[in-house]
Amino acid sequence: MTIARTAVAEPERSEALDFDAIVIGAGISGLYQLHLLRQLGMRVRVFETGTGVGGTWYWNRYPGARFDSESYSYGYSFSQELLEEWDWTEHFSPQPETERYLNYVADKFDLRRDIRFSSRVTAAVYDAAAHCWEVTIEDGSRHTCRYLVTAVGPLSAPTWPRVQGIDDFRGEAYHTARWPKHPVSFEGKRVAVIGTGATGVQAISEIAKTAGHLTVFQRRPNWCTPLHNRPIDREEMERIRAGYPELFQRCRETSACFLHTIDPRSTFDLSEEEREAFWEKLWLVPGFGMWQGNFRDMLTDREANRLVSEFVAKKIRARVKDPQVAEKLIPKDHGFGTRRVPQETNYYEVYNQPNVELVSLLEEPFERITPTGIRTVRREFEFDLIVYATGFDAITGSLDRIDIRGVGGQKLKDKWKGGITTFVGVMVDGFPNMFMVVGPHTALGNIPRSIEYNVEWIRDLLSYMEQRGLSRADARPEAVDEWTRFVAKKGEGLLTNEVDSWMTGVNQNVEGKQVRILARYSGSAPEYRDWCDRVAAGGYRELVLE
């Protein structure tokens, strides 16, 4: 073991700091990290931009927002008591219920007393001489700590289209990820929705129910599959509860921590009829069955991917009455599953409604937003309300928005200019004592499962250090290289990485994010955890601990 023990614990110095640890964000990651670090006896402070807990489930209160993972596979697994107390009422929980759940968790574990709300972190600077992080809040206040945990989420920095005139519009306008808390009525209104990703698809189905007229502005269509949501009654909830140990065990074993996992067969192991029958069955599976439970070569073999794409295209054609509209809704630039698959409830049928129009921005791009609506290169539209479902500056965006500086004042943003480099997605060399929960290069998938693993790994490392009087951890550059190479290797041959999407770090609305990068670890979650477990079992040789 090559731990450099240049210092023993210095309680005096630590006590001179405002906190032992600062956690940025009170979403699923931040809440659990706070809980665990407090158990280590640390003085912890969470800074949160919002006025309440929940992160993603606090901000994304747009109509139709809900889980695409089964509720009971998405909730926290760490507390038996919580599992016993909380009842999910739908297989795919709607946002209000999830927000209530996270508030319940915050109350149950008495987390609020260590959270400061309405406190956006603007900067975090490492001070090598004082061996601490100094965190600046929007109000100008500064706070010092030994350990910094970023729990900012990979999809939390919303982006607006780069189109002229956004501020000129005189009607109501909302981004789905900054949805107001007051009720928004669409009744009788002329509504525009821009964006048809996972968010847009959920919102459109809901808004179409009451809008006077809905115009959907779609740039690139996505392949969507049916969610098949339904209520959970008391009896079913009891059955689910009794099965929690097996359920979480399954999530530990599957590739992306979902209840669904890749079918070990190749597309070509089956005859055409057998394949069709298999896909017909998957089509009826609630949730991500069709995406996550498909043949093993679906995302690596072009022909396999073409066949499954054809199957889904057929489904879309069968549901949309106007063949021209159907064709507009079928992606032509990427195959099924190579981008995040939105989960839908009557989404395609919406386009059969007389009050709904689909406008393809590929055919008629935006010219500008006007005071009264939207002008494309062909037409002028008038709206009462515009919904921006235009996504996020994903994975690095929420970190980029904080001025993070490590040893020698190096900016994290600059460090990653030539490409993201991390150690297991949690640490970056030159940024000692900074830990990212579900940062770039970690396993995402069914995200709370990945969050719990990251949060516990960080807790274990800090506990290991505290027990040995160590208080500084930095990743060794060679360990960072090795991990980054592994991430690259895991992405080789994946069709997903040949497509522009938030998963490949592309966002046309963000300066400098037009080129695909290796933003995401695309190996399996068990393989990710094996790697991290080996690091811990080996005494963290990949880190310089002092």
Distance, CA of 93 to CA of 69 (rounded, Å): 9
Q: CB of 228: closest distance to ligand NA7 in angstroms?
A: 18
* Residue 83 vs 326, nearer CB to ligand NA7: 326
Backbone CA torsion sign across 141, 142, 147, 149:
positive
Task: Please give the structure tokens belonging to residue 36.
Answer: 């665990």
* Residue 68 vs 297, nearer CB to ligand NA7: 68
Q: CB of 259: closest distance to ligand NA7 in angstroms?
A: 17
Which uninterrupted H or E stretch holds 23? Answer: strand 19-24
* Residue 396 vs 484, nearer CB to ligand NA7: 396
Instruction: With CA atoms as reference, report the closest residue to 74 among 340, 426, 451.
Output: 451
Residues binding ligand NA7 (CB under 6 A): 155, 161, 194-200, 219-220, 340, 361, 389-392, 502, 509
Q: CB of 500: closest distance to ligand NA7 in angstroms?
A: 7
Query: Which positions ≥6 away from 398 have C-beta within 8 Å?
Result: 152, 153, 154, 156, 157
Task: Please give the structure tokens belonging to residue 253.
Answer: 């074993």
What are 360's strand-pairing partners?
218
* Residue 30 vs 197, nearer CB to ligand NA7: 197
DSSP 539: T
Q: CB of 190: closest distance to ligand NA7 in angstroms?
A: 19
* Residue 395 vs 545, nearer CB to ligand NA7: 395
- Asked whether the beta carbons of 181 and 50 are under 8 A apart, the reply is no
DSSP 324: H
The dihedral formed by the CA atoms of 125, 132, 144 and 456, expressed in degrees to the nearest 10:
100
Q: CB of 220: closest distance to ligand NA7 in angstroms?
A: 4
Distance, CA of 326 to CA of 23 (rounded, Å): 47
Distance, CA of 316 to CA of 264 (rounded, Å): 27
Q: CB of 72: closest distance to ligand NA7 in angstroms?
A: 19
Instruction: With CA atoms as reference, report the closest residue to 158 among 520, 502, 451, 516.
Output: 502
Q: CB of 442: closest distance to ligand NA7 in angstroms?
A: 15
Q: What is the 3-state secondary structure (H, E, C) of 36-87?
A: HHHHCCCCEEEECCCCCCCCHHHHCCCCCCECCCCHHHHCCCCCHHHHHHCC
Q: CB of 160: closest distance to ligand NA7 in angstroms?
A: 8
Query: Which positions ≥6 away from 78 have C-beta within 8 Å?
Result: 32, 452
